Chains A and B, each alone.
Chain A
Amino acid sequence: NAFGGVLCAFTLILIGVLAFSIRLFSVIKYESVIHEFDPYFNFRVTQFLSKNGIYEFWNWFDDRTWYPLGRVIGGTVYPGLTLTAGSIWWFVNALNIPLSVETVCVFTAPIFSAIASWATYLLTKEAKGTGAGLMAAAILAMVPSYISRSVAGSYDNEAVAIFALVFTFYLYVKTLNTGSLFYATLNALSYFYMVCSWGGYTFIINLIPMHVLLCIVTGRYSSRLYIAYAPLVILGTLLAALVPVVGFNAVLTSEHFASFLVFIILHVVAFVYYIKGLLTPRLFKMAMTLVITVGLAVCFAVVAILVALVASSPTKGWSGRSLSLLDPTYASKYIPIIASVSEHQPPTWPSYFMDINVLAFLVPAGIISCFLPLSDASSFMVLYLVTAVYFSGVMVRLMLVLAPAACILSGIALSSAFDVLTRSMKFQLSKLFDDGPAISGNGSPNGSSASTVNTSSSKNEKTEKSEAAPKEKQSKKNRRKDKEVTESVSVKPKKEKRLSVLPLEASIVSTLLLIALGGFYVVHCVWAAAEAYSAPSIVLTSRSREGLHVFDDFREAYAWLSHNTDVDDKVASWWDYGYQTTAMANRTVIVDNNTWNNTHIATVGTAMSSPEKAAWEIFDSLDVKYVLVVFGGLVGYPSDDINKFLWMVRIGGGEFPHIKEPDYLRDGQYRVDAQATPTMLNCLMYKLCYYRFVETDGKGFDRVRGYEIGKKHFKLTHFEEVFTTHHWMVRIYKLKPQKNRIRGKLKKLKSSSKTSSTLAAGRKKNPWQ
């Protein structure tokens, strides 16, 4: 009815405003700045797109990263996010609203989370109705897991990808429910947007085939299933192949094979049903026996060939990241880079409570509610949740995929609970006030209905509530005659046998408790958004007696680089800081967060782990002029390079066997104090971090590690310090050029050159020897 529709729309607008505003804490507490590392790359790409247009963007070869290899941006980036923000910027500027690219980038994520909660409303409405939809939308607007990746300033793929994910699922379920080819087309287009946005699209193209298989196996095959799935596979594969990042992987990698396999199975099942419709049952049985004997042999041969093909490739056709999802121990054994990313670690139990809070309790109730009754849409929700729970257990980052599923199921649970409770309250209250014959038309049906139904005491309640239903119907449509009421009442008890009614006190208390539960959830979400997930991590703050102290060292260092070095100078640092350096300092870097070339990263890691001379040689071969390290020992910043150093050793040691991790550990323990190994105390990372550190407090006490450092007084021979930020958090060093003349070493060089003249003639002698 109209009032309900208006109320619904108004609630949705409020939910959108809520989703947008809860993500603005970082803008209020800090400033409108881009956070973290990856968003800086996306921001730089969006800047390029807005300046040079889309054709330049598609063909962009970036020579300012991964020196000297470069990176083909057009072919290795997921363009969805940048194209979305770029179009918003272009559209807004075409309306003469002068928003800068940075503003648009910062606020893209909150806008799309509002739209994502509307998509969740649509999806849940398909499964369980409007009430559950509104509940789920309200919960998704606030869930901390989603806030953590979509706060204002977190300009990353997930900002738009979660919206695309939920919207694609909505269109799939809508096609499944209606059987309309129009929605199937929209579904394919939405899937295309998802492929453009995020590598996690493989989740969709594996979940939907799983659901189709589930429907077939549980006997729920229908022609709507065919219309929902078959066009999606063809159109979806083609559209996925259109995106340069995916390309032919859409048909060649194992991540997509499930969809093709289920496509074939679906056609076989559809054909079987068709033949079944044509033939009589006896003939059909005959056909089945004939086909099975012949078909089984052919099937077996085909499957054997397929398996042999796939098994012949070393990773069985799966990419490293997907394999690490299926086998959580894979990455730590074979690919240390994937294992070293903190987002790829398995989550701890408390992080579930932190990220989805109260939903962890409501989800099982939602699963039960989905089974009463089970429809295609609700079975899809349950399957989505189960797979999302598994994957979230493998990688912390994938808690984000669990969040919409948990919100939907919690919305369903809460909505069903409120349904039962309010129905009980309404019924009990009406019974309370129904002592006199005040309500019309219910006196006679009362007696007749009691006689038509079993008069056992347990069923009395059901007759009473079954007359409450026609009473409500009477209030809505005033045309029921008494006879029809009695007939419907005598029929109703059979249909509504499973409805239950609770006593009044219990329902009132339960409603209040559920509202309190929601209140706790809201309080936790706002706290998480304000305190835990709003840090931009490029600016740090701490509270002291003098008030708020701001650590802006990163931007200080990048600004120094951009003002005091030449445009073509190369800067080497660990890969964490690559994106920020290219975006803010505008200098060429050696490795960055894309981590696509393990050997290059291992080279930098080896250089950081080697003594000064060897490190100078490596960096000089890469044309590096400046080296940047992050050091937190003076102020207690724990994510500095010394804490990350063991990963540099491991990754470097993975490619260059002369770097061995045990050389840097004393008795298996990683230390930098007086007990540290000589290899550790002489490596470049130690020297660059702790050079002149003893001058700060006279003792060289490292606040992060909690002890005094081992080697305190030393000089640098191959590097010179050019800049250290205010809190010593970023330190920049320059490579010293080679000396022009080498005194007193000529005789040695001549004698050694005679003996080694038979060796490679053009080998450059290191003048430092």
Chain B
Amino acid sequence: SSKRSEGARFVRMPKADGDAKLLIQSLNKAYAATPTNLKIIDLYVFFAMVTALVQVGYMGVVGSFPFNSFLSGVLSCIGTAVLAVCLRIQVNKDNKEFKDLPPERAFADFVLCNLVLHLVIINFLG
């Protein structure tokens, strides 16, 4: 901030845009470096969140009755997204805490948790 002077103020606005562009570019570059399996998980998370948003939008249109169906639908999407993020954390090779965990075990836990989640969902769906 000490580098900023009176004159630099005039170029602040376009600099912010340039900052944002630089930011997005570097984010894209860093993200492109992640391994493919993690990208697949990220895609799954994104898909789940979009489904949840679509359900919320649908509820806004037709009303929230029956409420338990709405809750179970939305929470199932958010639930699998959260569990997929947990799987990503455990499978990510950059995570030193989980380097002893075989990825098969992580995936098995993921499947088990999803099983319990969807059992509850089907019960609650009504």
Instruction: State whether the Cβ of A241 lies closer than 8 Å to any Cβ in chain B.
Output: yes
Which A residues form the contact surface with B (CB < 8 A)?
179-182, 184-185, 188-189, 222-224, 226-227, 230-231, 234-235, 237-239, 241-242, 248, 251, 270, 275, 277-280, 283, 286-287, 290
Cα distance, A185 to B108, chains bound together (Å): 12
Q: How far is the CB of A595 from chain B (nearest CB, A)?
A: 28
B interface secondary structure, majority: helix
Hey, what's the 0/1 contact readout for B68-108 against A, CB within 8 Å counting as 1?
A: 10011001001100110111011000110110010000100
Could you give 25 example pairs across A and B, Cβ below 8 Å? Answer: A181-B113, A182-B112, A182-B113, A185-B109, A223-B89, A223-B97, A223-B98, A224-B97, A231-B82, A231-B86, A234-B117, A235-B113, A235-B116, A235-B120, A238-B120, A238-B124, A239-B120, A241-B71, A242-B120, A248-B71, A251-B71, A277-B94, A279-B27, A286-B23, A287-B23
User: Which residues of A lie under 8 Å from residue B87 when comparing CB positions?
Assistant: 181
Cα distance, A185 to B109, chains bound together (Å): 9
Instruction: State whether the Cβ of B59 lies closer than 8 Å to any Cβ in chain A.
Output: no
Evaluate whether A181 and B83 lie within 8 angstroms (CB atoms) in the complex, with A189-B116, A238-B120, A241-B68 already known: yes
Instruction: State whether the Cβ of B40 lies closer than 8 Å to any Cβ in chain A.
Output: no
Q: Which 6 A-B pairs have the closest CB atoms?
A: A181-B109, A278-B30, A234-B79, A223-B89, A230-B82, A185-B113
> Do A278 and B27 touch (CB < 8 A)?
yes
A interface secondary structure, majority: helix
CB nearest to B94 among chain A residues: A277
Q: How far is the CB of A616 from chain B (nearest CB, A)?
A: 46
Q: How far is the CB of A271 from chain B (nearest CB, A)?
A: 10
Cα distance, A239 to B79, chains bound together (Å): 12
User: Which residues of B lie under 8 Å from residue A286 when comparing CB positions?
Assistant: 19, 22-23
User: Which residues of B lie under 8 Å from residue A184 when comparing CB positions?
Assistant: 86, 113
Q: How far is the CB of A264 from chain B (nearest CB, A)?
A: 11
Cα distance, A277 to B31, chains bound together (Å): 10
Please, how many residues of chain B have a CB less than 8 angstroms from a CB on the other chain?
A: 39
> Do A238 and B117 touch (CB < 8 A)?
yes
Cα distance, A238 to B125, chains bound together (Å): 11
> Do A290 and B27 touch (CB < 8 A)?
no
User: Which residues of B lie under 8 Å from residue A251 when comparing CB positions?
Assistant: 71
> Do A223 and B23 touch (CB < 8 A)?
no
Cα distance, A224 to B19, chains bound together (Å): 33
Hey, what's the 0/1 contact readout for B28-39 against A, CB within 8 Å counting as 1?
A: 001100000000
> Do B113 and A222 touch (CB < 8 A)?
no
Evaluate whether A181 and B27 lie within 8 angstroms (CB atoms) in the complex, with A188-B116, A277-B94 already known: no
Contact of A242 among B79, B85, B94, B124 (CB under 8 A): B124
User: Which residues of B lie under 8 Å from residue A224 when comparing CB positions?
Assistant: 97
Q: How far is the CB of A188 from chain B (nearest CB, A)?
A: 7
> Do B19 and A279 touch (CB < 8 A)?
no
> Do A279 and B26 touch (CB < 8 A)?
yes
User: Which residues of B lie under 8 Å from residue A227 when comparing CB positions?
Assistant: 86, 89-90
Instruction: State whether the Cβ of B46 lies closer than 8 Å to any Cβ in chain A.
Output: no
User: Which residues of A lie under 8 Å from residue B89 when comparing CB positions?
Assistant: 223, 226-227
Instruction: State whether the Cβ of B41 lies closer than 8 Å to any Cβ in chain A.
Output: no
Q: How far is the CB of B27 from chain A (nearest CB, A)?
A: 6
Contact of B23 among A188, A239, A283 (CB under 8 A): A283
Cα distance, A185 to B110, chains bound together (Å): 10
Cα distance, A223 to B22, chains bound together (Å): 28
Q: How far is the CB of A187 from chain B (nearest CB, A)?
A: 11
Extra inter-chain contacts (14) besides given A180-B109, A189-B116, A238-B75, CB under 8 Å:
A179-B90, A181-B87, A181-B90, A182-B109, A184-B86, A188-B116, A223-B89, A223-B95, A230-B85, A238-B79, A242-B124, A248-B68, A279-B30, A280-B26
User: Which residues of A lie under 8 Å from residue B124 when comparing CB positions?
Assistant: 238, 241-242
User: Which residues of A lie under 8 Å from residue B56 when comparing CB positions?
Assistant: none
Cα distance, A241 to B83, chains bound together (Å): 20
Cα distance, A661 to B86, chains bound together (Å): 61
Q: How far is the CB of A180 from chain B (nearest CB, A)?
A: 7
> Do A226 and B120 touch (CB < 8 A)?
no
CB nearest to A232 among chain B residues: B82
> Do B97 and A179 touch (CB < 8 A)?
yes
Instruction: State whether the Cβ of B123 lies closer than 8 Å to any Cβ in chain A.
Output: yes
